[in-house]
Chain A
Amino acid sequence: MTYFSLIINNFRYYLKANILVISGIAISAAVLTGALIIGDSVFYSLEQSTFYRLGNISHTVSSADRYFREDLAEEVAVEGRFIVAPALILDGMAVSEGGNDRVNKVQVVGVNDNFEKIANSKIYSNLSGNEVVLSDNLAYRLHLKKGDRFIVRIKKASLAPLNAPFISDAETNASFQATVKEISGQKTLGFFNLKNVQTAPYNLFLSLSKLNSLMKFKEKANWLLISAPSFNSQQITETLNRCFKTEDAGLTVKDIPVTNETEISSDRIFIENQVIKAFEPLKNSRCVLTYFANSLEFNGKKTPYSFISTIDDKTLVSNDIIINNWVADDLNVKQGDSILVKYYVIGPLRQLVEKGMKFSIKKIVSIEGKFGDRDLMPLLPGLSNAGHCRDWEAGVPIKLEYIRPKDEAYWNKYKGTPKAFISTSKAQQIWSNRFGNVTAIRIDKHSFNNSGYLSLFRTSVKPKNLGIIVTSVKENGLKAAHNGVDFSQLFLGLSFFLLVATLFLNALLMLLNLESRKSELGSLLSIGFTKKQMRILFLTEVFGISVLGGLAGLFISLIYTKLIFWALNTLWWDAIHSSILMMDLKASTLGLGLILSIVISLTTVFAAIQGSFKKQAAELQRQRDNSQKPLMRNIKLGAIFLTIIPALGLVIFQLIYSPVLNSSKFFLSGSLLLTGLLLIADIVLRYNPEKVDYRLSFQKFNQRNRSQNTGRSSTILILFSLGTFIVISTGANSGNPLSEGNANSSGTGGYKYFAETSVPVLFSLNDRDQRKKEGIQTSFKALEISRIDGDDASCLNLNQVSNPSILGVDPEIFKNRFTFETKYQGIGDKQIWEALNESYPDNVVPAIADQTVIQWGMGKSIGDTLIYTNESGELLKLKLIAGLAPSVFQGNVLISNRNFLKNYPARSGSHLFLIDVPNENAEKTKEELMNVFRDYGWEITTCIQRITEFNSVENTYLSIFLALGTLGLILGTAGLSIVLARSLLERKNEIMLMLSLGFTRNQLVGLLVNEYAFLLILGVATGFLAAMVAILPNLLTAGGEVSFLTVLLIVTLIIINGVFWIFVLSRRGTEQGKISFNSDYTNNSKAIL
């Protein structure tokens, strides 16, 4: 006989009991390891999704709303020895089946054959004509297969900003009938996406030349996709700088023979200040600003629609004007007369305000020489190339009835030759706009030197100054994936109660096991084993059991993880928003899981049996004594004061003094209260008055019984109270925005609808004339919001995002709307929106986002700064000044319109709309807007639905928590059943005796049910009471949603389930004829286990 054989014998003899313990350990190991595997797998999946969406792309060159030469790609490739593919990426929509199948948000990607090297697939090569490659998700949505045809509509791109003055908005999209050439999956870059998000966009690839022709562009691109894994972004930026040409900045140089000048002009109509500044050193140069006036008026006579330009004439001061003789004849004016010039100034969203200014005629000139320079009119698409005035598409309303035959004649003869000239300073004073204040730079032809011009450009104009920036997309993507939601921690948190329940259960099983072997331990002690030897013997056994349990747990964890993955890909899809989850099994994780579960089980069991060993040495052969030592009792009393008083204090303080009921503080109060109540319950359980009381009743008898085995009773109590607390507090905290209605303070801001377009709307929806033009008849108010695209920082994205989309909003409108959860110190609640209009030194701009986005989406806190590059290539720092309660803006960061336009002046139109409409008109308005803006890719949803979608993530986490918590409660019930079965066995003699004393079976069942149901109900009541405090904000907040029915149902189910098992086991344990007096306890314990 050796120690080893003794251990093996013991293990085999107590096999059933050991299997039970192994099962308990296996469950905890599975939950623990499963959480670690899930975490690894989510990281792995996000990492893989980065590879799937980027292919070989390591860096990108992107431009905000501007276009460079397609050839730039080739030049950068040669210069840097990288693989570079140009791409023109635009928004669009796709329609098939005669409009029955429609996808409004399609990423339209124009590529050439170089894309093959990026995608590692030849399917993108030789795309010709109308051939397109579709991502499989888009093909699935549109029910398309190879060879099928469908309609594609693409947001019309313009070399000039669409909101710039005199840019036509007549054509907002281009469409064509496409033929599906190939369908691309994740391995052939079908999931191509340059944003850090795990969800795949709907991609449509077509040839770059086709897309250029649709946009009426000539070999343009807005992205360079670079594969240069061994280069950093600085090296690529330097290469780009070397290759960047004036054409990439949209600049054109041409000779103006009439004036003997050379002109620098821009595709963007207005030349950026940085460019103007760069060319300041050019000698004999001047800035020109040519503007389109609505009319020149004198004494009721009117010359409509004329260009007015600037001229270098030092005699022109203040409101002096030079007109040509055609106008002088038309208006019948002479030198010195004062004429009225009317013109539009353009606000945001092409809001036109007609202004007028009187000018004094300084000179009347003939249309020749510098006064007959038709090149002064900028190249305005829709205007410059119009054959007749009636064909003008000027981006401003043209009243055709004002156009006379003589105007047509002027146009035919002189085109856009300015009819009047004013000083540059005056022109810039009245016509300066966010897009610029110069339409051309004119240089004396003899002074102009092309190499000097190019040299000035290279030295002073960098791509980043024009918003063309290099980004390490792969590095950022992997970083975002690694900093994303840690699902290991999340699932460990979500499984917390389940873990605690299994650990308690393991400790309980081990204690019961040990108790059943009391006599064996006594025998070992009597034959000379030391306590230390016995402890080692027992712990060696426990170690073996833990290893077996841990190994079994590893196996179960694979099934558990598969099950969780299945749930995450189906039932809990909202938590991940992707079906790309792939299991990543790492030996290190499995090893860690095994070691952790062994260590935890050993520690738990060791802690549990320590007391038992000490006790057994002294009292091995005696009956139990549950009397409490005074010191321990005092410690417990102290702990009760230290938990309950702060808990109640915190609740009272919150209710009386805090304007906002903070859920976290109430949860803390609830948890403290739970601890205190459990300690009180423990004292109640141990209460067994020694005072002489000669009465004996069933009640007193029950009290006596309950005071037996308080350790076991406490375990049951803790399991049920903790389970109830967690299940109720999570169940009740499920967000339900429907309850908040459309209150202004809610996350909807009081707005009914949230709409989004893939093509920007360039006009104001509130403009009466515009509504008439579009045929909008219903009455509503729209809030238009401009957007700078960024990553989605909402909880729908698992990656950690550093640059979410920026929205430009009017803070005035949001006063008294929405609710803030956090704010920067020193800002009053009402001042938060006002503060958004401020700007700080160093281009620091105040910003607001949803608190959940700040905390979880970006991993930031209030006061932190987000770094962007604005349109001018300058750093834009957004300082987070406040966090909104969950709102429709989730995923974005808000800045004031003022700051938005200052930093992104060329940003055209609105993509987002909040619609305020009375309920009775809501449906009609929705239908009408959907019809009117169908071609804009208009997607409209109620604000409540939008918040519900965001809440679905949080609610899914709560569902997981609830499901795992319920699993924990089931284990709690299993624990109760085991304890009850074990106790019935131990009390077999007692039951037999009571039967012999004349107790009926029903009385005995009643006694047992009473005794154990008391524990169950005390546990549930303790958890319930504490949970009620934890969910108090939901109970008290107007509109707070707590489903009492759900809570009641949960509590009732817990109690019914518990009482059912107590009843069943009690009936079984008191079945006469099946039990008898038995002093061989060990055999009995074996029998029941």
Chain B
Amino acid sequence: MTGPVLEGRDIKRDYHVPGGLFGKARTVHAVKGVSFKVDKGKTLAIVGESGCGKSTLARIITLIDAATAGELLIDGNKVDIARDGLTPELRRKVQIVFQNPYGSLNPRQKIGDVLGEPLLINTAIPAAERRDLAMQMLKKVGLEEKHYNRYPHMFSGGQRQRIAIARALMLRPSLLVLDEPVSALDLSVQAQVLNLLADLQDEFELTYVFISHDLSVVRYIADEVMVMYFGEAVEYGPRDTVFGNPQHAYTKTLLAATPRADVESIRARIARKRAA
């Protein structure tokens, strides 16, 4: 297959805040003309701090919200959900994993039903086969068959994130949007989930859009990096270029603010403290 799996051209998103009784209505520009391109099997990381529009962009790419302006192309075809609505075929192509593993699973739904739901809604696969597919996927993400009939509250954060990933993969999407998938997890569990994501990417030839505020995670997982600041993409390029030779002042600030855990920086800090 040639051409990018996902392409965005000058995507904009405005929110209208109604005025209410006092104050007047205003428009918030959450995303101000962002363009990007991701090839099959690659990972684009979108980095930024809270309020920079990265989650809004994630919702647009996942076809939850429509963009105010701009073009979104998936597998080379133009997609406009505001005009054409959303077809099941399109729905199957893009899926999302959310940040909070405690909020993204319905507390009253058994794991088996969580995994079976996308198939039930979008396909005509019979129940027995759905169950088999769900079991297979459970094992793929490192869980066991006995977990099929349990409720979400019986799982740890890391396990829930595995379930959320499994659900996203049930429809065999080509594009997976990961909205801060490891931010809420402990360091050791974070490593497990990142490894799992890498394995799944190889196995299913997945394309990832990885949204994060954590530069060390991004440096580890991304092929390309886009830095967003107040709705704009201030820096966009291959990982090594962005980290090795940042151009924009904000990227530099971001890199400088990330805590360093190497021995040399600790030595330098202690030396500074002694001197003071």
Same complex for A and B? Answer no
Q: Which residues of A contact B (CB under 8 A)?
A: none
Q: Which residues of B contact A (CB under 8 A)?
A: none
